[in-house]
DNA sequence: CAAACATTGTCTAAATTTGAGACAATAATA
DNA sequence: TATTATTGTCTCAAATTTAGACAATGTTTG
């Protein structure tokens, strides 16, 4: 049950007309996914949003929202763009968003919510299996969607995801170290699959290995015996030196 | 004389706790410069800031502020980062900023101004000679500063300029940085100086020329006879197709 | 008026990086 | 022991970048 009083109190401690939206990417089965939450009673989805408390840095607010929705702390999280069309969001979206409480109160009666919002977008890349999704207030449930097969998205969230993805692709090389996305140890092939999924293109095995090894960011560990009828690949892990 | 009433009315039409800051770059005498404005009675400078009107897209607001301060329209302007430390700005800065009117009203009595501000940073590239600087309200005058010799900056504006410059350096290759920074026509050597200044490194003359010409973005015009005792260089201008 | 001078435009060879194929090495299975 | 699938690495070709060289050309100087 949604506690209306708590919502309104929370809003009072927050900065009006300004929100944060986190585009949370996850990786599984060679698919790049994004964590979306569904509005009640309608097939409309959104990325993980929230507000900025008055005493909180915006980076802290983004980290808090990420933690609230995934349970993950200390994850690499990067701002990518602020969205501020004069007509976002439409009151229609808000009415849907607060439908579950709208029998008790009309959205229009909460001034905080009926105004125009400017939203600062952050993105993160997480180990999907470590996430226990908790939808934000007024959302029904959360789900991972393949980036190729997104559902109907509210507001400008399609554009947001698009832009977050572009930013992620642009910064794969340095971002992968920061996001502790890979398990502690992994094979070169597993790392390559991640690259290919993010970039949406295949890469040649030999040259990928050369490129990554030349970066000098990995240490080679013992071999991994998978039981497959073939040569066993080495395991690697990221070096523990001077990184983020 | 500053019209206090006009200021306060303007603020009423603006979104609270949210501002825009434009880092405006220009190029002259082989120096990359940034347009700063000085506070009255104190040696403290700031980039070109302003507020967002309630009915205005944030991109429009940035373009308006750019035009107000430079007289230039339709110029390259791109968002690069939102700044939102919980303690920005300090009330001290504001008191200085509004000193010129503070004999008539205490800053503290304008609630709009005493709150925390989150600022969205844009950067722009302009032809310095076409600019007629007009300082923002509450500022004394505007001046171009070599990026290497910045004066004392208020708030987090040093960090802002730093980050804008980094963004500019990253985008050198895909953005036509010369298009707005250079005069209508220019020599290859002048363009090279611009690149060298932005990137902070020297480049070889022959290879720079090849690289730029291969981009196929310039048209070659007649030669420029400088009076120097040597071969006259060609003049170029940017082609008039599908650009900013 | 020819020689000297400074700088420009372009060419070429060397060095480096990238792309693509080849092949031996090696776990597990038949 | 031969077969199979995959890995790690090598090599060669192609593409790109770097560096050097040199002729061309306005202007000044003798």
Backbone angles phi, psi at B197, to 5 degrees: -70, -45
Task: Find where tokens 């996430």 sit.
Answer: A131
pLDDT at B130 > cutoff 70: yes
**Average pLDDT over chain B, rounded to an integer:** 89
Using one digit for the tens of pLDDT, what is the confidence trace for B38-84?
998 889 999 999 999 999 999 999 999 999 999 999 999 999 999 99
Of B149, B171, B193, the position where a domain reaches its end is B171
Pairing verdict, β B77-83 and B48-53 = unpaired
Task: Give the distance, in angstroms, between residue A4 CA and nucleotide C9 C1'.
Answer: 74
Same domain, B74 and B12: yes
Same domain, A15 and A110: yes
Same domain, A51 and A128: yes
> What is d(CA A115, CA A93) in angstroms, rounded to the nearest whole number?
12
Pairing verdict, β B218-223 and B141-146 = unpaired
Same domain, A90 and A193: no
Chain B hits for A58, Cβ within 8 Å:
82, 84-85, 118
Domain count, chain A: 2
Token reading at B2: 């500053």
- Out of A54, A55, A82, the one facing B120 most closely (by C-beta) is A82
Report the CATH number at residue A99. 3.90.79.10
Angle between helices A205-215 and A188-199 (to 10 degrees): 100
> What is d(CA A238, CA A226) in angstroms, rounded to the nearest whole number?
21
Report the CATH number at residue B196. 1.10.10.10
pLDDT at B106 > cutoff 70: no
Same domain, A163 and A89: yes
Other CB atoms within a 10 A radius of the CB of residue A40 amount to 17
> What is d(CA B30, CA B197) in angstroms, rounded to the nearest whole number?
7
Chain A hits for B55, Cβ within 8 Å:
86
Local confidence band at A175 (pLDDT 50, 70, 90 cut-offs): confident
A15 found inside a domain: yes
Higher local confidence (pLDDT), A91 or B32: B32
Task: Find where tokens 């967002």 sit.
Answer: B52
Token reading at A151: 């559902």
Using an 8 Å Cβ cutoff, are A142 and A133 in contact? Answer: yes
A179 found inside a domain: no
Token reading at B168: 């500019």
B243 found inside a domain: no
Strand C contact with B114 (CB < 7 A): no
B16 found inside a domain: yes
Per CB distance under 8 Å, which residues of B are interface residues toward A? 15-18, 52, 54-60, 79, 81-82, 84-86, 116, 118, 120
Of B120, B151, B171, the position where a domain reaches its end is B171
Same domain, A169 and A190: no
Using one digit for the tens of pLDDT, what is the confidence trace for B10-38?
788 999 999 999 999 999 988 999 999 99
Same domain, A106 and A157: yes
Same domain, A121 and A188: no
Same domain, A165 and A223: no
Using an 8 Å Cβ cutoff, are A161 and A147 in contact? Answer: yes
Q: Do A57 and B18 touch (CB under 8 A)?
A: no
Task: Find where tokens 């040569």 sit.
Answer: A231
Mutation for testing the A interface, residue in B14, B18, B52, B82 having most A CBs under 10 Å: B82
Of A174, A192, A215, the position where a domain reaches its end is A174
Same domain, B64 and B153: yes
Same domain, A19 and A131: yes
Q: Which residue of A has its CA nearest to B120?
A: A82
Q: Do B57 and A86 touch (CB under 8 A)?
A: yes
A12 found inside a domain: yes
> What is d(CA B221, CA B236) in angstroms, rounded to the nearest whole number?
5
Local confidence band at B244 (pLDDT 50, 70, 90 cut-offs): very low
Model ipTM over 0.95: no
Put residue A231 in one of left, alpha, beta given phi > 0 → left and psi -120 to 50 → alpha.
beta
> What is d(CA B54, CA B82) in angstroms, rounded to the nearest whole number?
19
Q: Which of residues 206-225 of A touch strand C (CB under 7 A)?
A: 206-207, 211, 223, 225
Percentage of the residues of chain A whose pLDDT score is greater than 90:
59
The domain of A209 spans: 184-238
What local confidence, expressed as pLDDT, does residue A132 receive? 92
Local confidence band at B105 (pLDDT 50, 70, 90 cut-offs): low
B116 found inside a domain: yes
Task: Give the distance, in angstroms, between residue B233 CA and nucleotide C4 C1'.
Answer: 20
Q: Say whether the peptide bond before residue B31 is cis (omega within 30 degrees of 0).
A: no
pLDDT at A147 > cutoff 70: yes
**Is residue A240 exposed (0-12), middle (13-18) or buried (19+ Cβ within 10 Å)?**
exposed
The least confident of A215-219, B110-114, B169-173, B234-238 is B110-114
What local confidence, expressed as pLDDT, does residue B103 receive? 57
Same domain, A166 and A197: no
In angstroms, the Cα distances linking A117 to A19, A100, B177 are: 7, 21, 32
Strand C contact with B185 (CB < 7 A): no
Angle between helices A188-199 and A157-170 (to 10 degrees): 140
Higher local confidence (pLDDT), B85 or A92: B85
**Average pLDDT over chain A, rounded to an integer:** 87
> What is d(CA A84, CA B244) in angstroms, rounded to the nearest whole number?
21
B125 found inside a domain: yes
The least confident of A209-213, A224-228, B56-60, B165-169 is A224-228
B176 found inside a domain: no
Local confidence band at B165 (pLDDT 50, 70, 90 cut-offs): very high
DSSP SS3 for B88: coil
Using one digit for the tens of pLDDT, what is the confidence trace for B142-162?
999 999 999 999 889 999 999
The least confident of A95-99, B56-60, B121-125, B202-206 is A95-99
Nearest one of A159, A158, A132 to A143, comparing CA atoms? A132
- Out of B17, B54, B58, the one facing A15 most closely (by C-beta) is B17
What local confidence, expressed as pLDDT, does residue B2 receive? 57
pLDDT at A104 > cutoff 80: no
Mutation for testing the A interface, residue in B84, B121, B122, B174 having most A CBs under 10 Å: B84
Q: Where are the alpha helices (DSSP H) in chain A?
A: 4-12, 58-70, 91-97, 111-114, 157-170, 172-178, 188-199, 205-215
Local confidence band at B207 (pLDDT 50, 70, 90 cut-offs): very high
């Amino acid at each position: 049950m949604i506690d209306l009083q708590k919502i309104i109190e929370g809003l009072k401690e927050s900065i009006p007309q300004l929100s944060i939206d986190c585009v949370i990417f996850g990786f599984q089965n060679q698919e790049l996914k994004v964590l979306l939450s569904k509005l009640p009673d309608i097939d409309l989805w959104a990325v993980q949003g929230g507000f900025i408390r008055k005493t909180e840095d915006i980076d802290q607010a983004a980290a808090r929202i990420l933690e609230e929705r995934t349970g993950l702390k200390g994850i690499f999280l990067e701002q990518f763009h602020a969205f501020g069309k004069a007509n976002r969001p439409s009151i229609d979206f808000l009415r849907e968003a607060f439908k579950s409480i709208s029998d008790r109160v009309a959205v229009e009666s909460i001034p905080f919510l009926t105004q125009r919002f400017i939203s600062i977008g952050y993105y993160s890349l997480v180990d999907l299996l470590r996430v226990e999704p908790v939808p934000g207030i007024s959302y029904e449930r959360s789900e991972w969607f393949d980036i190729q097969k997104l559902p109907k998205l509210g507001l400008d969230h399609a554009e947001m995801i698009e832009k977050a993805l572009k930013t992620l692709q642009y910064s794969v090389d340095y971002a992968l170290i920061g996001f502790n996305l890979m398990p502690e140890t992994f094979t070169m092939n597993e790392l390559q699959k991640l690259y290919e999924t993010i970039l949406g293109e295949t890469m040649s095995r030999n040259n990928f290995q050369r490129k990554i090894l030349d970066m000098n960011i990995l240490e080679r560990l013992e071999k991994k015996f998978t039981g497959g009828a073939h040569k066993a690949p080495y395991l690697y892990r990221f070096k523990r030196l001077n990184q983020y």
